[in-house]
């Protein structure tokens, strides 16, 4: 079953530049992974979800928002909405595509990798 998300939500995951509220980033990643993610889990979830989003929406494959700043993101997003539309029916990840990790365990693993 799909769920509707806005272009800014999708691009925030596929491009990595925040083009929506952080609440919406949690919403799309939670939906796609079937998890209730913690902040430190968002980057890993986005790395897993991004290719699936681009497979669902290949028209967004070449969209790069490299020049996005806190001051200009809205204008850039508005022009992209005119080009691609604003509503996207997103499918969750297929079973087995995302490995759930206990958030405390994942934080401990991250801390061991980057002790500073």
The more confident residue out of 3 and 72 is: 3
Q: What is the pLDDT of residue 88?
A: 98
**Residues 100, 33: contact at Cβ < 8 Å?**
yes
Q: Is the pTM of this model over 0.85?
A: yes
Q: What is the pLDDT of residue 116?
A: 64
Asked whether residue 50 carries a pLDDT value surpassing 90, the answer given is yes
Number of structural domains found in the chain: 1
**Structural domain boundaries, residue 43:** 3-113
Asked whether residue 11 carries a pLDDT value surpassing 70, the answer given is yes
Give the residue ranges of DSSP H helices in the chain. 7-14, 22-33, 42-56, 73-84, 103-113
Q: How far is CA 66 from CA 17, 60, 95, 101, 115, in A?
A: 8, 14, 32, 31, 30
Q: What is the pLDDT of residue 111?
A: 81
């Amino acid at each position: 079953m799909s769920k509707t998300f806005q272009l800014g939500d999708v691009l925030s995951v596929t491009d990595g530049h925040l083009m929506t509220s952080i609440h919406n980033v949690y919403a799309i990643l939670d939906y796609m992974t079937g998890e209730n993610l913690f902040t430190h889990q968002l980057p890993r979830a986005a790395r897993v979800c991004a290719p699936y989003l681009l497979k669902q929406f290949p028209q967004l494959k070449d969209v790069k928002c490299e020049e996005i700043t806190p001051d200009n993101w809205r204008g850039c997003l508005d022009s992209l909405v005119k080009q691609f539309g604003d509503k996207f029916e997103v499918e969750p990840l297929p079973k087995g595509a995302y490995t759930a990790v206990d958030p405390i365990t994942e934080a401990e693993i991250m801390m061991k990798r980057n002790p500073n």
